Amino acid sequence: MTVLNAAYKTHSGTASMDKKRLEYYKKKLQSKREELLRSIARTEEEGRSADDDPTVDLADKAANSYTKEFLFGQNNTDRTTLQQIDEALNRIRNNSFGTCVNCETELQQKRLEAVPWASHCTVCQEKHEQGLL
């Protein structure tokens, strides 16, 4: 155990995350990225076809603009996540993946498993959401 601890301490930051694990998260991020790109393209297509339909009456138009607003919001969420994924992939390249971008605390595996593009530890994430960061 002492040996392990010593080895851990000599490495800084993400050195404690082995290559295999990094590759695993990279794959996860890339497949999620593709999924989002497909979803964004599909949503944009739906928004366009709702616009082009000349047979829709006024009530339908109102419903359409509601749908479009919803789709737009959905796309915004997708785009935000996409950006976070791109940043996470950059961090893999820079060897800074898996640590909080603010305090450099190592992120919990459990957290990365659920949200591999997480950029903040839970403490900083909370501050971030409250606008304190």
Q: Which is nearer to Zn ion, 47 or 98 (CB)?
A: 98
Q: Which is nearer to Zn ion, 63 or 103 (CB)?
A: 103
Residue 133, amino acid: L
Residue from 15, 37, 62, 103 that binds Zn ion (CB under 5 A)? 103
Decide: is 96 part of the binding site for Zn ion (CB under 5 A): no
Q: Is 68 left (phi over 0), alpha (psi -120 to 50) or beta?
A: alpha
Q: How far is the CB of 62 from Zn ion (least distance, A)?
A: 45
Which parts of the chain fold into alpha helices (H)? 2-10, 19-52, 58-93, 109-114, 122-129
Site membership for Zn ion, residue 121 (CB under 5 A)? yes
Among 29, 36, 89, 100, binds Zn ion (CB under 5 A): 100
Q: For 106, list phi and psi in degrees, rounded to 5.
A: -70, 130
Binding site for Zn ion (CB under 5 A): 100, 102-103, 105, 121, 124
